[in-house]
Chain A
Amino acid sequence: MVKSKTSYVLIGIFLFIIIFLSIFGMSFTFLSPSRKSIWLYQYKIKNQTIHLKGLKNKVEVIIDSNGVAHIYAKDKYDAFYAEGYYTASMRLFQLELFGLTGMGNLSSWFGKKAINMDIKAHEIGFPQNANLSLQFVKAHYPSLYEDLVAYSNGINAYIAQAEKSHELPPIFYLAKIKPYKWSPLYSLAWGEVMAYSLTSGFCEELELSLIYPRLGFNLTKTLMPYYPYFINGSITAMPGNGTVNSLNLESFNISPTYFWSLNFYSQWATGISNATLIKARPLILSALRGICEDPPLGFIDLGSNEWEVTGNYSATGYPIIANDPHLTLYDPSLWLPIQLSAPGINVTGWELVGEPGILIGHTKYTAWGLTTPMGASSDAYLEKINMNNKSFLFNGKWYPMKAYRFDLMGKEYTLYYTNNGPLVAYNSTLGLGISLYWPAEFHPFLTLVAEMLFDNSTNFSQLIRAAEYWVIPPQNIGMVSRNHAGYITAGLYPLINIALPNNKTIRVIGARLILNGSSGKYEPVGFVPFKYLPHAFNPKRGYIFAPNQPTAYIDYPFPFVGGYWASGARALTIYRFLKAHKNITIDQMEELQGNVTDAWASVLNPVFVSCLSGQSLNGIESEGIKKLSEWNFTFYQNEVAPTIFTYTKFYLLNDTLGSILSSHGLSNYTELFYAGYNLLVNDLAYLGTHNETSPLFNGSFCNAVQSAYVKAISYLDSKLGSNISQWNWGRVHKLLLVNPAGITSLNYGPLPLWGDGFTPSAAYFSFNGTAYMPLITSEGPSLRMVSSPGLGEFFGVFPGGPSENFYSNLTQLNYWLHFKYFQLGRVSKPVIVWVLLPGGK
């Protein structure tokens, strides 16, 4: 009886466990050792022969020991198909994430938390613009359309294969998301995202619209001059006074000195009074927070380097180009190194993941690179609106707004358009709205046509012809062929017609503040003609450089009123180096890319040392001065002086500018103000050496330096200990490669890093008005390329590897960190071979 009772109890217990665990265990099927699990995905890239539906002929993909994939196909369609297949194999999650970002549909994967990103994407117009471009490309550029389709087919072939064999990257199963079918529309939409992230004008005009009414003209001009201090016609991207094809400001009887002495913040220049700017402040803030402060994927566009030397200036007699675009350093990288070889095309370089072809690279005869020029190519307009009847005022008449409706997670949203573009912020009570004028809304994305022309180029004229198709975003395109070298700032620069106080009218690029969108007087009236875009082909001095400094100097016929340039530190270092190195070699070009000298440190540090010498200082403070006085302004990880210099600079900026912010009622905009950190350091370098008694420094620059230095030493002492020899730059300055989906646990780093935001080998970190550590860099040289087609020498490196797998091999990160290069354009040592054959199901 007792025994049988025990049995009953046990049967009950066992039954309960079986039922409970069977239900509970269903949630863990993805961890089972079955074909339904996450374990099937293979991290190791291995040799394989695959049959693929839609492929026309056999394609060979050889992945070499540097992680470069060499794709050998018998026709162009197969080459792009294989490129798509390879890209998806290596980067499917990243690729699809980028596609959804462009199409404003991240919420389909991530739900409500991504809805704001999607709304922004629609407000800026990525999906709308991509649709416009797709129709245009289909109708007018069937060859490009075919390339886009081939690339998409390759991606979709991989998705079908991986889904069938349950071998998608584990993140798809973990996040319970399904890959969607790629199409040319996604490539175009992603191109729009990249283009917008590299576009200047709209956001800077809004930022200044908040700051200017408080600071007034004199202070604004002092802190944010039209041209940064230390810049002259030798330093601009187009060397000289700004004359282009015999046209300059004086051709319109306007003196450059007169022109640049004007106050372009005035009502005559923008159509908006100070009182209106103050009234519109909440609206401006809303627009800034909407589509400026947190753009999709959080791109920060702070700079890039590019320079070329002519054959006369190089040691080999052939031109050489160097390019390192500074972008967010993602893990995985935005770039994928590839060679595409098929009849009619043989190009090697970096694919921008999501776009077919090679964006930066070389053919056998040519090489090209890109940097961002930073002149305004978008503008902000303040509109008078009536949201009751959805109309806007233009030139004295009310017009109905165009409505665009889109759905996100089953909810309908409506976006309104004025004649200038989408209304990205509005306030019904005030009857005011802000619209974004961005040429991408009206012009198809022909930049991909330019890319394909670059990829097929065989001579310098073809490079220039390719640049003619480059529309958005404007870019400094550095180009070399076997015997020619040059650069052009290509793209669509909207022109605004303004009447100067002397009653002369002139077409200018951009504005200093938000423009009046209702009066009809400040509307875009066309674009800078290609012939007059800043450029320099085979310059006599033998070199050209375009690292985001002012594009053209003061006599340029279409003045960059909206010029939001980098500080010019990298430009100065590059200029000094190139000027001093006639008969330059490829090795020296690489050396310059790895240069970590800070031009502003070379100006400021001697003043710091001079101000601090002879002061009564304690032991650690005296040791600090010794380090600074022995320093040659380089930022290597093992140096102590960069740490002391940087923190002294932080305190100096905060002491001098912080008080201006509070005394002018700008305390709430501290973050916004210090977003211009790059330029503020240039101000400090100039004013500290040319205007030491400026009221900015409370009458004495030296006193300000002394005070800042003592605070910096005390801060470093408290954070790093009193042994000054251990205050290495690499201890406070770190590299962090960030995951594009924002999964912080998948970030790579932190690793000690060289450089700062002013060294050619740039490493950007932010400053928000207070000292902090560690200084994290996630923006910098996203790749480095040095090429000389005449010599047949092509080198490159990037901080990543081909695969998005967190533990992937073949990464070049260590080479990038130590300024080493790989030879491009030839198979270094084949390690993996894929044979793609037609005939899959």
Chain B
Amino acid sequence: MRRLYYIAFYIIAIILSFLLAYYFGYAFLAIIPGAFLGVIEKRSIRISAGFVIGFLSSILLYLSFPSLHLIAKETQLISGIPYSALIAIFPLIFGVIEASSAGFFGEVLQWKKR
């Protein structure tokens, strides 16, 4: 039962991550899906799940932009920011916020339980 319960929260977090990253694009919104992952009991799992879901959801969304690769190359030329950093920086921030959010809410929930 608990497994199903966790899977449901994983799915909610994944869907929310995709929707929030795609429709709003503000990194701080990763707090919301992260909060749902806070219910997972094991600290290491909820934090790593938060990071993986946050990071992958935004990086996978890049696939929907047909010119991303060329725009990143041109942006690298203009700004001097390396290509890989341009692609990775937002997913990393999004992932870390989601992981921190999962960690934060997990600690709060655990603390309340105690």
Contact = CB atoms under 8 A, between A and B. Distances in A.
The answer to whether A and B come from one shared complex is yes
A18 interface: yes
Contacts of A40: 65
Contacts of B79: 174
A26 B89 CA distance: 12
B75 A26 contact: no
Interface string A31-69: 111111111111110000000000000000000000000
Contacts of B59: 33
Contacts of B97: 17-18, 21-22, 25
B70 A807 contact: yes
A41 B103 CA distance: 37
A139 interface: no
Contact of B73 (A18, A28, A807): A807
Interface in B53-92: 58-59, 61-62, 64-68, 70-71, 73-75, 77-80, 86, 89-90
B31 interface: yes
Interface residues of B, number: 43
B89 A31 contact: yes
Contacts of A42: 66-67
A33 B31 contact: no
* Shortest 4 CB-CB contacts between residues of A and residues of B: A34-B25, A25-B27, A33-B61, A22-B28
B25 A14 contact: no
Nearest to A30: B25
A39 B65 contact: yes
Nearest to B67: A43
A468 B38 CA distance: 80
A168 to B, nearest CB: 12
B36 interface: no
The A contact surface, by secondary structure, is: helix
A25 B67 CA distance: 23
Contacts of B89: 28, 31
B78 A14 contact: no
B85 to A, nearest CB: 9
A32 B20 CA distance: 11
A395 interface: no
Given A39-B68, A41-B71, A14 B103 contact: yes
A170 B75 contact: yes
A806 B107 contact: no
Contacts of B10: none
A22 B27 contact: yes
B17 to A, nearest CB: 11
Given A43-B67, A745-B78, A32 B21 contact: yes
B7 interface: no
B13 interface: no
Contact of A33 (B90, B93, B114): B90
A725 interface: no
Given A21-B96, A32-B58, A37 B104 contact: no
Contact of A743 (B22, B23, B27, B78): B78
Nearest to A37: B25
Contacts of A257: none
A746 interface: yes
B103 A38 contact: no
Given A36-B25, A37-B25, A11 B58 contact: no
